[in-house]
Structures are given as C-alpha cells and as structure tokens.
A and B are shown apart, each in its own frame.
Chain A
Amino acid sequence: MSQRGKPRQTRRTSAQAGSPRRGLLIRITAGVAILAIVGAAIAIQAGGGADDPGVAFTINAPTDGATVSSPVTLDVALHGSQLGSPGDGLDHLHLSLDGGQPIAEYSSSRLPLQIPSGRHTLTVELAGPDHAPLLPDRSVTFTVTG
C-alpha cells in the first residue's frame, strides 16, 4: 500500500514543482504580449494616420484670408476617407471655431455654417471611427461680413 502510494506522491511533487514555473512562463508571455500591444497602440496614437499616404483632406472653402458672408459654406475635400457612422467603420469631422469646443459632423463634408461677423479661425480635424484624429488638423482664417 505504501509502495503504491509512493510513485503517486512523486508524480504529484514533480507536477507541483512544474506548475509555478509554467504559470510564471505564461504570465511573462502574456505580459510581453500586452507590452507589445500597448507599444503599438501608443505608436499609432502618437503617429495618427500619417502612416497611411492614402488618407488626406483639404479645406476648399472658405479660403485662408477670404472675406465671406454668413452662412459660410465649409467645403472639405476628402481623399481615401468617407464620412458616416462610426458603427459602419466610417470617419467624421471635428469642427472648432476660434479654438472653441469641437463638434462632430458625420454626414456631409460640405455644409453651411452660421457664423457671426468678424475675423474667425475654423479648425477641421478628420477622425476615425474610434474618434482618434487620423491626421494633423487644418485651419483657415477668414472674415465674415454682416
């Protein structure tokens, strides 16, 4: 009986000795994987979408230094990007007037804006479905006459 018990005890001992090492190996592997994902995520966040040469946008109107009347027509030309619902994997614009709180525009890249008289700066940013900017923002400064 005691001889039967011995090998079982030996097997259990070796299994117990291997388990923490295996657990540590799994944890280290998982830790390295997490670090790799975080590193890639930070690199993507820091670099924006600049890595993708296919995505670009320009502000066609109003032009920089122009004098326009309200409503001001904003016309943004998109290349390699389509506006729409983030749920469909599509991009959107962030619009900010004079450094104010940006608003999101999902449907159209050509829209009339009611802007009071005076000199203004409009900043446009192209954001992906995760709401992160895809490219550095662009600004135009113009004057609105009554």
Chain B
Amino acid sequence: MRRPDTRQTILRHGPVVRIAHALLALSVIVLIVSGLGMAERLPGQAVSMLGGHVWLGDLHRQLGLVFGVAVAGLMLFGPAAGRRLIRDMCRFRRGDATWFRSFVRYVLAPSRHRPQSHDGRFDPGQRIVFAVILGSAAVLTVSAAALYLAPVGSTSLLAWALRIHVVAAVIFIAALAVHVLVGVGLLASHRNIGRVMFGDGRVKQGLAYTLWPTWTAGQITDSNADAVAGQQHGTPAAASGHTDLARRLDKARPE
C-alpha cells in the first residue's frame, strides 16, 4: 500500500456532492430557524425580524413538505450513488467500537496520536453522527406527516406528534452541531477539512490517510493505476486521472 504524500491533496467530494450538500445545509438551516421561530423558541425581536410567527410557520410547513418529498424522492428514485452513500454512512463493522478511544486521544493531541485504522469511506464517529442525523430526520418526517394528516381536534394525536417532532428536532440539532463543529475544521485534528465541502473538495493526503486510511489508499492506488494506464495507452484522458475511462481502456486492451 503506497503511503500518502503529505503535501499532495486528494479529491474527497466532487462538485455535484458539494452543491447538493450546500442546498441541503441551506434548507436545513431555514427549517431549523423557521421551526424555532414558529415555536417561539427565539427572542421575540428575532422572530419579528424574520417575518413573524405566522410567516415562519407557513415557511416551515411548506418548505418542510417540499424538502421531505424531495429527499424521499431522491432516496427512492435518484442515482444509485445516493443510496450507496447512505449505506456507507450507516454501515458499522466489528471493531469500530474500539476506534472511538483512539479517536478521542487523537482529537486531544493530534500531533502525538493517530486514530485506529478502519476500512470505511467515513470514520465510525462520522457514521454514528450521520446515523443519528438520518434517524432523527426520518422521525421528523413521519411526525410532520402525522401533524399534517391528523384530523382537527384530535388533541392527543397532535400533542404526541408534536412532542415527538420536538424531541427528534433537539436530537437532530445536537447531532448537526457535532457535524458542523468537526466539519468546519475548528478542531486542530481536522484543520482545513472545511474545504472538502465548502472549498475545492480536496483534502491533504496526510489528513485523509489519518481519518480514512483504507479509502485514501484506494484513491491513491486508483490514481496511480490511471497514470500507469495513461502511460501504457498514451491517452491524455487516462493520464489525467479519468478513472472510468482508464478502466475501460484497460479492459479493451487485447490480451
């Protein structure tokens, strides 16, 4: 396995994923703020500045409906890569449990410790946060559907749906806060990681190898294979790192 070059960067997320993530983040921020404003959990002046209780309520209900349908539709009928991404986010392996202790040591002293190796596209900590975000988002969606569909006057059903919605929202926001704290690169252990989603999508090979060793090794191997294929076939596309093209060229090569 080739060791990473700490000066080089590696592409973690392409433009489609980064744009989708930005749209998702924007929608979630609007839903959280409008939900808090509607429930009068923000200062009165802030609620007033944001358009008021009624306007925020309308925004929350209508955006929530569109958002829920769009996400469910994309998950069901969107590209298979999206479903693979969700599977990668939530798949846990034996041995992941012991990773956490090493990760805490790494976060506290990144220059002296390294987290334990794992073979996921995301590290076990990320996967737990993603699983909580996805799980609470599913509960939010189901409880919101119950709020939409409950008959007028069904006090008990509405109350339960709302309580579940609020508890799920609190869990969702807490998990999201962890995701944001790590993802913006405030921790010394994750310095400059923010550019992965809000920059050019690249991360230094050294950091990538520390956080996602197997995935990084695979990417480096792939890019080496592309370069080799490019040299063998003399195709600029393969030499420039077009993995699929290089693989197809390789398959098409006569034995």
Contacts and interface: CB of A to CB of B under 8 A. Distances in A.
Contact of B53 (A88, A102, A132): A102
A101 to B, nearest CB: 4
Contacts of B111: none
Nearest to A102: B54
Interface string B155-184: 111111011001000000000000000000
A89 B48 contact: no
B92 interface: no
Contacts, number: 97
Contacts of A31: 73, 76-77
Contacts of B145: 37, 41
B76 A27 contact: yes
A81 interface: yes
A44 B149 contact: yes
Given A89-B156, A104-B40, A130 B147 contact: yes
A88 B152 contact: no
A86 B153 contact: no
A27 B162 CA distance: 28
Given A87-B162, A129-B162, A41 B54 contact: no
A45 B63 CA distance: 13
Given A88-B159, A131-B53, A81 B76 contact: no
A130 B77 contact: no
Interface string B50-87: 01111101001100010001001100110000000000
What class of interface size applies to chain B in its complex with A? 35 or more
A41 to B, nearest CB: 4
B39 interface: yes
A37 B147 contact: no
A81 B153 contact: yes
Interface stretch (A5-13, A51-59, A60-68, A69-77): A51-59
A124 interface: no
Interface of B: 38-40, 48, 51-55, 57, 60-61, 65, 69, 72-73, 76-77, 145, 147-149, 151-160, 162-163, 166
Given A52-B153, A128-B158, A130-B162, 12 more contacts: A30-B72, A37-B148, A44-B148, A87-B163, A89-B156, A89-B157, A104-B54, A125-B54, A129-B162, A131-B53, A131-B60, A134-B152
Interface of A: 27, 30-31, 34, 37-38, 40-42, 44-45, 49, 51-52, 54-55, 80-82, 86-90, 94, 96, 101-104, 125, 127-132, 134
